[in-house]
């Protein structure tokens, strides 16, 4: 064996499994900083966010670029998510049971109502906007698939909290809600009341709270044993639909959510159907 090969072998043997895992976790910390926030990040900013040296971050980014998970802009020298990350993420929506069950029903709901349809799921302490199908009344408010919003700030998050275990619901309600717009409801007592009403009615509505000009109605989705798994929503221009006209959309959402939930093994959708008399006019919140 050549002398250089012996040196390399000794160096490899000197690295313990714990050190390999520490290096892997550090690399993942850097990669996960691209999950939210600005599209492009530089070495200095990533080093600050991760509390690492710039030389460490530069080496990690070099490896991520080589793997295709991250790409570098040759002009700005900043980094952004690469094609390989997209390929990995797309396999989730392709094979995830909820996505498979929801997508055809979402298309039907869009054709039935003409409004954009959204699928959201719990993501830690946030609601993750997973899939969106845009209808003819679409308005670009800056919210797209992959965006996250604190649970208490959106109709999807509130309706999911309404059907969570009490301890988890209380934990999430205790978290502060940032002011996404001037209309975002942030008071815990008010949000708690909205969540309670969502459990009683089976839906939640918000206008102008995540984006000015945007309204969203959301209903819960369940898997086997009536476990909450996500939320199905209809998004519309806030000025386009009056509160008195929400009933038909709520009924359509419940029909679609019941179908998706049954596909996921929920034998009985645990939300009462909106009475026919209210389908033209939703109950006032």
The confidence score (pLDDT) of residue 241 equals 78
Average pLDDT over residues 187-212: 95
Predicted confidence (pLDDT) at residue 254 exceeds the cutoff of 80: yes
Domains of the chain and any CATH numbers: 16-82 (1.10.10.10), 96-278 (3.30.450.40)
How many other C-beta atoms are found inside a 10 Å radius of the C-beta of residue 32? 10
Predicted confidence (pLDDT) at residue 1 exceeds the cutoff of 50: no
As a whole number of angstroms, the distance between CA 129 and CA 233 comes to 10
pTM (whole model) above 0.85: no
Q: Which of 285, 273, 271, 274 is nearest to 163 (CA)?
A: 271
Structure tokens at 123: 């993501």
Angle at 208 between CA 203 and CA 211, to 5 degrees: 110
As a whole number of angstroms, the distance between CA 246 and CA 89 comes to 34
**Range in 18-27, 45-54, 128-137, 237-246 the model is least confident about:** 237-246
Average pLDDT over residues 116-137: 92
pLDDT, tens only, 4-63 = 444 343 444 555 778 888 899 999 999 999 987 788 999 999 999 999 999 999 999 999
Q: How many CA atoms, within 13 angstroms, populate the side-chain half-sphere of residue 44? A: 2
Note whether 247 and 202 are within 8 A (CB). Answer: no
As a whole number of angstroms, the distance between CA 110 and CA 133 comes to 7
HEC string for 241-275 = CCHHHCHHHHHHHHHHHHHHHHHCCCCCCCCCCCC
């Amino acid at each position: 064996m050549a002398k250089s090969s012996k040196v390399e072998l000794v160096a490899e043997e000197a690295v313990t499994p714990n050190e390999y895992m520490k290096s892997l976790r550090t690399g993942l910390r850097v990669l996960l900083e691209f999950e939210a926030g600005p599209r492009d990040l530089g070495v200095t900013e990533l080093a600050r966010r991760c509390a690492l040296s710039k030389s460490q971050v530069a080496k990690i980014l070099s490896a991520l670029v080589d793997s295709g998970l991250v790409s570098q802009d040759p002009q700005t020298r900043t980094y952004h998510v690469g094609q390989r990350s997209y390929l990995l993420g797309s396999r989730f929506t392709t094979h995830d049971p909820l996505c498979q069950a929801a997508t055809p029903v979402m298309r039907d709901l869009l054709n039935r109502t003409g409004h954009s349809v959204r699928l959201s799921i719990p993501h830690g302490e946030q609601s993750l906007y997973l899939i969106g199908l845009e209808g003819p009344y679409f308005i670009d408010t800056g919210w797209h698939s992959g965006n996250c919003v604190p649970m208490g700030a959106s109709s999807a998050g509130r309706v999911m909290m309404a059907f969570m275990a009490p301890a988890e619901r209380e934990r999430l309600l205790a978290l502060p809600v940032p002011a996404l717009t001037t209309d975002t409801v942030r008071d815990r007592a008010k949000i708690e009341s909205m969540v309670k009403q969502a459990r009683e009615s089976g839906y939640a509505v918000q206008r102008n709270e995540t984006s000015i000009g945007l309204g969203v109605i959301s209903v819960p989705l369940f898997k086997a044993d009536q476990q909450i798994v996500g939320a199905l929503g209809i998004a519309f221009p806030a000025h386009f639909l009056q509160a008195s006209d929400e009933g038909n959309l709520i009924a359509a959402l419940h029909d679609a959510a019941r179908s998706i939930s049954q596909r996921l093994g929920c034998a009985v959708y645990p939300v009462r159907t909106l009475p026919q008399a209210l389908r033209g006019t939703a109950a006032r919140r």
